[in-house]
Amino acid sequence: MSEETSAETAPSEEVPAGAYLIQLARQAMACQFEVYLNANGPGSEAEAAVAALDLVNELEQQLSAYRPDSEICRLGATAYLQPVVVEQRLFQLLELSLQLHRDTHGAFDITAGPLTKVWGFFDREGKVPQERDLVEAMNLVGSNQIELDADNRTLKLAREGVELNLGSIGKGYALDRCQEVLLDADVDDFLIHGGTSSVLAHGIRRDGVSREGWEVGVPHPLRPDRRIGTVHLKNESLGTSGAAFQAFFHQGKKYGHVLDPRSGRPATKVLSATVIAPTAALADALATACYVMGPEETEAFLENYPEVSVLLVSEGQRRGSVETIMLGEMSQRLSVG
């Protein structure tokens, strides 16, 4: 769940007099989830939004790596002994995660939990690990250590100590599930975000400002008071990942919390990655993966994902400045400034 760099997801267009939005919020998954609805809809829309947020709380119980009784933690504790049956929708999410692991050549990996712990980021107390500890953690990393049996809907882990951590895809998945609740209740126009870094928009704002969907701001990775630009989202999602505000310094060097599971060390190729994709789970996961991969690998990856657009932001020539790299259709989507 790329919570580190936030997208300015509250609708950012100037709202005309007499027009406003309904906003409902819920604390879950260590962040705030918010649903925005057009104010002129029936009261049943707000009820559906509450039901969607209730579902987020249920999903947190299933997916959280911080709750020992969550389904994900129980799988990690028992699935190395024998295959364990997995709830259907979670099984589908695991299948997607393994597919993305293959397609990104390991840049996205849901078994990277031991690395997060050895670097201290799991407890938000960053530290440079001893080399022997890093080697031990790396021995437990690799989604090739996960075996899924689609016929029996089971999961088997190759060895004890392999962990499942859906932190880089879970919030996006929760937004996709929220959308299902809203659409099933005949709510067509809404924007949802989780921690502001994962955003899903459907339909339009019916306030006369724009018919292009919902305007979302993409922030500057070094200056939270500024933004790189805006995009309009309609029936699609956006995810942003970066490490500028979750990092620590050691002996004058900065270490960010987004780790490259292939090397076991913090990724350093860009400052932030923003992804527009058809689903929030995909946007969430690929924001992290593209941050890890950097420009060249991301460009090659997109040859097989033409429906995805990516904005990468890197350090500029001057101190405090940045440079942008737009891939896919991002140059047509992003309004700079």
Annotated binding site: 168, 284, 288
Separation CA 108–CA 167 (nearest Å): 11
Binding-site sequence positions for Mg(2+): 168, 284, 288
Query: Which one, of 26, 101, 27, 93, lies nearest residue 63 by Cα?
Result: 93
Query: Which one, of 275, 70, 284, 79, lies nearest residue 177 by Cα?
Result: 284
Q: How far apart are the first and last CA of the chain?
A: 26
Q: What is the DSSP string of 36-96?
A: EEETTS-HHHHHHHHHHHHHHHHHHHHH-TT-TTSHHHHHHHHTTTS-EE--HHHHHHHHH
Place of tokens 């080697």: 135
The phi and psi torsions of 83 (rounded to 5 degrees) equal: -60, 140
- Contact present, 294 and 269 (Cβ < 8 Å): yes
Which residues are registered as beta bridge partners of 200? 192, 237
Q: What is the DSSP string of 214-242?
A: EEEEEE-SS-TT-EEEEEEESSEEEEEEE
Report how far Cα 223 is from the mean position of its chain's Cα atoms: 21
Query: Which one, of 141, 138, 86, 84, lies nearest residue 109 by Cα?
Result: 141
